[in-house]
Amino acid sequence: MARDFIKEVEEISYPTEHLGSLKRAMPLIMAAIERDGLPIESGLIDLGAVDKGLDVALFFFYWVSETNEIIENINAVLTDMRELPTNYAFLRGSPKTRYYLLVRTFFYEFYRFREIYHQVATPREAQTYLNKIWSRIRSRLDDRDLTYYGMRVVKPQHDDTPHWHLLFFMPKEHVEQVGSVIQDYAMREDGDEAGAAKHRYKEEHIDRSKGTAASYIAKYISKNIDGFGLDCDIDGGEPISAAERVRVWASTWGIRQFQPIGGPSVTLWRELRRMGEMGVTGELKELRDTADKGEWDRFVMLMGGPQAKRKNFPITLAKQWNDKPNRYGEPKGEEVIGIAWEKTVFPTRIHQWVISHKSEPESKEGRLSLKRLRMKTQ
């Protein structure tokens, strides 16, 4: 039965590195009580402005206290669930009614716990953390001169935290070392927690009997865009609406869903496709024609191959500083204006679309069109 495998949830201990800062709060608390009196009704104590170290210490104190209160309630529910077959006669309602009451209480506390968790780690912060770990992995791989390239796809898990899929190509002799480095960094923090060894890092090699790398990555791209070609999502639901939710999740938290790793710049490819004839010749003409025809594989080889360094690319992005304020009043900064080749800049951003107010009435009633698009030649 369920009660045979239900265990108590352990309390969360306060982070020891913040204990020193927390001790400094006591004089401030006593001074605030002496100044404002005991907060009998509100329970809130105004400490005024505090430094960052104390602010973090107090935040964790609140979070740990609230979380442990929830854990205490969950454990009480679990205790009732264990004893349900023997004590239900002393409780009001049938066993079924009492059971569902306990389940509802359990899930109520679970969602309270999740709300507090999101105060500490939003999907954006979780993605930032994963990016930080990946930067360390990339640095270690570069130090060992291990080559790789491919694609990263990010999708949400049930609790909204980001989950990475990495598709890499590399020499056979590098496979074991690259996997070892990634697994090492994935397990460094709290690697002994339950489920870490099973879920933190999973490595699979391409099995051509099941499909190619393109078919593997296409499935995850479809899950993140429009659900095209899928029978159902991971939970058996309708794939198109599931893909819409993923897009909203990525937009809400500013998470980049697709990231090429290694290889030439996709932005360079796009700028080449913007170029007109411009009388270009030689290497640049060949690159432009390749991009115009959509021959990505040939473009990669003309740029020096998938493992070429950016400093060795035959062409680069031409950028120009723009002091004009953006909608937040800050300078727009560096903007792409074209392609640089052999110390010559070839502009690709000839026109710019801007939004402006229409000055004349659209009808005799005097109603104005709020906005219109016009093209501005630079």
Annotation says 201 is catalytic: no
Per annotation, catalytic residue among 88, 99, 185, 220: 220
Compute the distance between CA of residue 63 and CA of residue 86 in angstroms, rounded to an integer. 36
Q: Rounded to 5 degrees, what are φ and ψ at 254? A: 65, 40
Annotation says 216 is catalytic: yes
Q: What Å distances lie between residue 49 and 53, 191, 341, CA to CA? A: 12, 37, 55
Q: Rounded to 5 degrees, what are φ and ψ at 337? A: -120, -15
Per annotation, catalytic residue among 14, 149, 216, 328: 216
Compute the distance between CA of residue 113 and CA of residue 73 in angstroms, rounded to an integer. 11
Strands (E), 223-350: 258-261, 316-325, 331-341, 344-347
Q: How many beta carbons lie within 10 A of that of residue 80, not counting itself?
A: 19
First to last CA, the chain: 74
For residue 374, the Cα-to-chain-centroid distance in whole angstroms is 35
Q: Per-residue pLDDT tens, the chain, 378 aa: give them.
A: 344 445 677 777 887 877 888 888 888 888 888 888 877 666 677 777 777 778 778 877 877 887 788 777 777 767 766 666 555 545 555 566 666 666 677 777 777 776 766 666 678 888 888 999 999 999 999 999 998 888 899 988 877 889 999 999 899 999 999 999 999 999 988 888 788 888 888 988 888 888 888 888 887 787 777 766 666 666 666 778 778 888 888 888 889 988 888 888 889 999 999 887 777 888 889 999 999 999 998 999 999 988 888 888 999 999 999 898 887 888 888 999 999 988 888 888 887 777 777 665 554 444 444 344 444 444
Compute the distance between CA of residue 355 and CA of residue 333 in angstroms, rounded to an integer. 20
**Would you state the pLDDT for residue 236?**
62
Which three-class secondary structure state does DSSP give residue 356? strand
**Would you state the pLDDT for residue 287?**
92
Handedness of CA 291, 294, 295, 296 (dihedral sign): positive
**Would you state the pLDDT for residue 175?**
92
Q: Tokens representing 320?
A: 């120009």
Q: Tokens representing 243?
A: 């893909």
Domain ranges of the chain: 2-120, 129-261, 266-356
Q: Rounded to 5 degrees, what are φ and ψ at 199? A: -110, -20
Reported pTM: 0.59
Of the candidates 282, 284, 311, 287, the one whose C-alpha atom is nearest the C-alpha of residue 298 is: 287
**Would you state the pLDDT for residue 365?**
47
